[in-house]
């Protein structure tokens, strides 16, 4: 009896973990309006998980569409693709195998910390404790809010201590839970700051003259959920009254053209904009922090993946931002710096023109608040691994991204 009970418990615990055996990621290449319509139609029917773009109504002619398909729908989608002659390729043949292969030792290690591994939230938290206590001259920490599930949202403040408040850059990682390379970059940036301050002249100048606020994981609850239950989770983990579906897309929940375009009013959608702007407590916390410090914050950087883009406002409208020319010039310089290391190519431009219209994003909101240098990075790769970028690519990705971030920081410094 005891054993049966125990087995039952184990089964319940295991059942909560979503597996993706036999799931695939397709790249569809619509070439006609009809193809576009078909993709939009099968989106709901086959429960497609849109990786790029973020939802069906953003699909356009002759842009690639990366979608995850559950094993149960593979035969159906193959039939439709064949009948309609939609060009396509398979990016990931067995998603569960790709998930298992992502961590290089084949098993997620939740304990030991490494900058070249994906770290669990618990590990990131103790890394933060250690980083702060080992570098108290350069790093301090503050809590800007609490997540829906009660986790503290710590922001690290990097910079040489000074009597008066310094101009600052704010950077966040991990708005979307499954984009694991993003938090890895914020950790890498902090490591670079504390280990090269005093020897690297660029970093020294930056941290002498400015402060850099780093939020290593924006969507902590979602990130934890990708470790414990569902590797493909994107949103927060908040309950939605009147629905059984969970979560809000934090990058559709900012008060910038909120929910007018490229976002969904359906709580079950992966781009759910929330019941009102800043309804997600995590979004409210970041927005409050930026509002409170808007006189000192000169640049807002937000790190996502994937597709190798450097985007700037606007995404909620195709109208050019007042600072379009300068933002473009800086983006192109940053992308060139990034490319100089390993040849990785980035595309630069305003979000709406470069990928798709999508309102409620943090970059647009920060920009309209008055933070001129507002950039969204979409890190590696371009779809071979997508969100499942192997750990072996953490180091090169972070190294090259450092060059772009430091290029932007230099420009911000020079324009003070
Ligand atoms: N992939 C990101 C997203 O869909 C792009 C964000 C670009 N900025 C924006 N405001 N939509 O959230
Ligand atoms: Zn994202």
Domain 17-102 coded CATH 3.40.30.10: no
* Whole-number Å distance between alpha carbons of 407 and 409: 5
Query: Is 324 buried (19+), middle (13-18) or exposed (0-12) by CB count in 10 A?
Result: middle
Q: For position 62, what pLDDT does the model report?
A: 85
CA 8 to centroid of ligand 2, rounded, Å: 37
Superfamily name and number for 121-415: Zn peptidases (3.40.630.10)
Residue 290: predicted pLDDT: 98
Domain with CATH 3.30.70.340 in the chain: 17-102
> Average pLDDT by consecutive 10-residue portion of the chain (416 residues)?
54 72 98 97 95 97 96 97 97 96 66 91 97 98 98 98 95 98 98 98 98 98 97 98 98 98 98 98 99 98 98 98 98 99 98 98 99 99 97 98 99 97
**C-alpha span between 19 and 410 (Å, rounded):** 44
Question: What local confidence, expressed as pLDDT, does residue 3 receive?
Answer: 54
Query: CATH 3.40.630.10 occupies which residues in the chain?
Result: 121-415
Rounded distance, CA 170 to CA 172, Å?
A: 7
pTM above 0.90, yes or no: yes
ipTM over 0.95: yes
Nearest to 254 by CA among 289, 286, 298: 286
Of 311, 312, 386, the residue with max ligand 1 atoms within 8 A of its CB, to mutate for a pocket test, comes to: 311
Measured distance CA(129)–CA(218) in Å, rounded = 17
The beta strands (E) that lie in 174-308 are given as 211-215, 297-305
Which helix (H) or strand (E) covers residue 48, if one does?
A: none
Ligand 1 nearest atom to the CA of residue 249, by list position:
12
Query: Which H/E stretch holds residue 39?
Result: helix 33-45
Catalytic choice (282, 378, 391, 400): 378
Relative to the alpha carbon of 180, which ligand is closest?
2
Strands 297-305 and 168-173: parallel
Q: Which residues contact 153 (CB under 8 A, 6 or more apart)?
A: 143, 144, 145, 146, 147, 215, 218, 220, 282, 285, 286
Question: What are 318's two structure tokens?
Answer: 């195709």
Pocket test for ligand 1, best of 66, 256, 361 (most atoms within 8 A of CB): 361
DSSP state letters, 96-130: HHHHHHHSTTSS--SSS--TTS---HHHHHHHHHH
Q: Which two tokens stand for residue 407?
A: 């290029």
Atom of ligand 1 lying closest to residue 352 CA: 11
**The predicted structure's pLDDT at residue 16:** 84
Question: b/e for 144-170, b at 16 or more Cβ within 10 A?
Answer: bbebbeebebbbbbbbbeeeeebbbbb
326 classed as catalytic: no
């Amino acid at each position: 009896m005891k054993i049966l009970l125990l087995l039952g418990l184990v089964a319940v615990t295991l059942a909560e973990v979503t597996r993706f055996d036999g799931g695939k990621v397709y790249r569809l290449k619509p070439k006609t309006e009809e193809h576009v319509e078909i993709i939009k139609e099968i989106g709901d029917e086959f429960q497609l998980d849109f990786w790029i773009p973020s939802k069906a109504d953003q699909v356009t002619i002759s842009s690639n569409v990366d979608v995850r398909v559950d094993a149960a729908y593979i035969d159906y989608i193959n039939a439709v693709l064949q009948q309609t002659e939609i060009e396509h390729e398979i990016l990931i043949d067995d998603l569960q195998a790709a998930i298992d292969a992502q961590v290089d030792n084949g098993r997620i290690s939740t304990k030991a910390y490494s900058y070249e591994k994906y770290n669990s939230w618990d590990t990131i938290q103790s890394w933060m404790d250690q980083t702060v206590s080992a570098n108290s001259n350069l790093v301090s920490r503050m809590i800007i809010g609490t997540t829906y599930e009660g986790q503290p949202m710590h922001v690290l403040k990097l910079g040489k201590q000074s009597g008066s408040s310094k101009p600052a850059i704010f950077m966040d990682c991990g708005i979307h839970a499954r984009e694991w390379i993003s938090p890895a970059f914020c950790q890498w940036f902090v490591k670079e700051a504390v280990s090269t301050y005093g020897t690297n002249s660029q970093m020294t100048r930056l941290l002498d003259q400015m402060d850099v606020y780093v939020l290593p994981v924006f969507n902590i609850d979602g990130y934890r959920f990708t470790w414990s239950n569902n590797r493909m989770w994107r949103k927060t983990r908040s309950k939605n009254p009147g629905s059984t579906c969970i979560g809000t897309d934090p990058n559709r929940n900012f008060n910038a053209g909120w929910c007018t375009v490229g976002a969904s009013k359906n709580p079950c959608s992966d781009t759910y904009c929330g019941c009102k702007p800043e309804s997600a407590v995590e979004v409210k916390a970041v927005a409050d922090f930026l509002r409170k410090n808007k006189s000192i914050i000169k640049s807002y950087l937000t790190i996502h993946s994937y597709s190798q883009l450097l985007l700037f406002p606007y995404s909620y409208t195709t109208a050019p931002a007042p600072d379009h020319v300068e933002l473009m010039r800086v983006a192109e310089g940053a992308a060139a710096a990034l490319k100089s290391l390993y040849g990785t190519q980035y595309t630069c431009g305003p979000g709406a023109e470069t990928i798709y219209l999508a309102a409620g994003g943090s970059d647009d909101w920060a920009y309209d608040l008055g933070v001129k240098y507002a950039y969204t990075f979409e890190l590696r790769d371009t779809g071979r691994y997508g969100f499942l970028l192997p750990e072996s690519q953490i180091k090169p990705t972070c190294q090259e991204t450092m060059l772009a971030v430091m290029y932007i920081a230099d420009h911000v410094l020079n324009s003070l």
